[in-house]
């Protein structure tokens, strides 16, 4: 584990270790669920397909007139807290 709490991990089927930087370079897919205008859940996925499948599952249980879901692609960014931006 790194001092900032992140760890190295193995990627999928290939089993190759990824560095912290290469992990940050990968996109992250986020599913946001809103009920009656209030965000109630945020789930993160490593791939778009998994996020979209979960979105379909959530949509089956929601009230479409009041609730909403969306999948967003985000990029993780590591900022060094010891370097202040002024």
Q: Would you say residue 81 lies in a domain? A: no
Task: Using alpha carbons, select from 76, 69, 77, 73 the residue that is nearest to residue 29.
Answer: 73
The pLDDT tens digits for 41-58 are 999 999 999 999 999 999
- pTM equals 0.65
> Which domain range does residue 35 map to?
26-75
Q: Would you say residue 45 lies in a domain? A: yes
The pLDDT tens digits for 6-31 are 444 444 445 555 566 566 678 899 99
Task: Tell me what pLDDT residue 28 has.
Answer: 94
Q: Would you say residue 17 lies in a domain? A: no
Q: Would you say residue 54 lies in a domain? A: yes
Q: Would you say residue 31 lies in a domain? A: yes
Task: Tell me what pLDDT residue 78 has.
Answer: 74
Cβ–Cβ under 8 Å, residues 30 and 76: no
Task: Tell me what pLDDT residue 23 has.
Answer: 62
**11-15: long-range pairs with CB below 8 Å, 24+:** none
Averaged pLDDT of the chain: 80
């Amino acid at each position: 584990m790194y001092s900032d709490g992140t760890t190295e991990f193995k990627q999928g089927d290939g089993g190759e270790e990824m560095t912290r930087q290469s992990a940050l370079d990968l996109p992250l897919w986020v599913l946001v669920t809103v009920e009656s205008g209030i965000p109630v859940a945020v789930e993160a996925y490593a791939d778009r397909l998994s996020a979209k499948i979960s979105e379909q599952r959530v949509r089956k249980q929601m009230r479409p007139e009041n609730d909403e879901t969306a999948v967003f692609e985000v990029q993780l960014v590591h900022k060094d807290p010891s370097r202040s931006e002024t």
